[in-house]
Amino acid sequence: MLDSVKNIRAVDRKGMMSLIGKMPDHLSEGLRRGRRTGLSNFTSKNIVICGMGGSAIGGDLLKAWLTDSCAIPCEVIRSYTVPSYVGKDSLVIVASYSGNTAESLCMLEDARKKRSKIVSISSGGKLADVASVSSIPHARIPTGLPPRATIGYMFGAMVGVVERVGAAKPDKQVEESQRILAKISELCGPAVPTLDNPAKKIAHEMFGRIPVIVGHGASAPVAKRWANQLNENAKCLAFSSELPEMDHNEIVGYSSDPRGKGFSIVFLDKDACEERMTDRIEATIDIVRCHAQAHSIEGTGSSLMSRMLSLVMLGDYVSVYTAVLNKVDPSSTEPIERLKTILSKK
């Protein structure tokens, strides 16, 4: 089924697949808009990214990337308020693709009360209106996309913002990431047959099982992204986990419970870490294979950013191919819209 472009298009009617392929362009354009919008001459004690869902995952990636290249602590908040440590020396990035996310708007107001330095990112909505009235720097990104398909814009804009304040220097990492993402798009596109297409192969191997994506360090938020995309695009149960914590609890279930046969465990970027973590991952794979299916997938590139984003893009393709196998529209999110309607009435 996955080797028929016609069958793929019949399921992916709104073109989620094509949006994934545009990630390299989204990344560069997001970076440009973030650089143009960000604050200058401000040294922050901490960086706080406020957002939900597809708008917040860019913050998770930024935090992981900054941990490797920046001494300023960074945190991602998914709530209605910001932590008590946030103050006038904090850089607060409020991200909401629609600009109307209730939690994000509440966090913006809380950060304003604490006199924080704020930069907002959205395609418009109330967030853009508040930014305009309150003279808050605002990076506006294109409208009309599913929020989860704007990861390139969001992450790129956030990188531009932290670069502008001098918190980090992406140097050549963005350029390398763009080149590698373009290659992955060519390799994983719908016209490439399963035999030569890693995303189609993974989708077939996981099909009919519950995926659990396992990351470590910088690949932990990538694992979360994979699970979220499988949830939303493929409409299937999927979860993420993190090493080494997984080995202190979860591993016992996979090694002992025969129901593990219904799971497919995907370990990300095994070789991009120190030797003791590589040894741990290999040992963990051997143990979980007692019952569960296990795979190991590597990122591409020499920089941390390129390895992270290459795995993000691969996972996005896998999620859409899994949607095709499940014969469900990857663009629809009816339960989320239904929940918003219920909450709006309350």
Residue 222 neighbours by CB distance under 10 Å: 27
Count H helices, E strands: the chain?
14, 9
Rounded to an integer, what distance in angstroms lies between the CA atom of residue 117 and that of residue 137? 9
For residue 115, give both structure tokens.
């006199």
pTM (predicted TM-score) = 0.94
Determine contact, residues 330/16, Cβ cutoff 8 Å: yes
pLDDT tens digit sequence for 6-29:
999 999 999 999 999 999 999 999
Q: What is the mean pLDDT of residues 213-237?
A: 97
Q: Is the pLDDT of residue 261 over 80?
A: yes
Q: What are phi and psi of 94, to 5 degrees?
A: -100, 120
| Residues catalogued as catalytic | 232, 248, 340
pLDDT tens for 172-211 read 999 999 999 999 999 999 999 999 999 999 999 999 999 9
Q: Can you tell me which residue has the tokens 């020499």? A: 302
Domains of the chain, first to last:
38-164 (3.40.50.10490), 180-326 (3.40.50.10490)
Instruction: Give the separation between CA 59 and CA 68, rounded to whole angstroms.
Output: 14
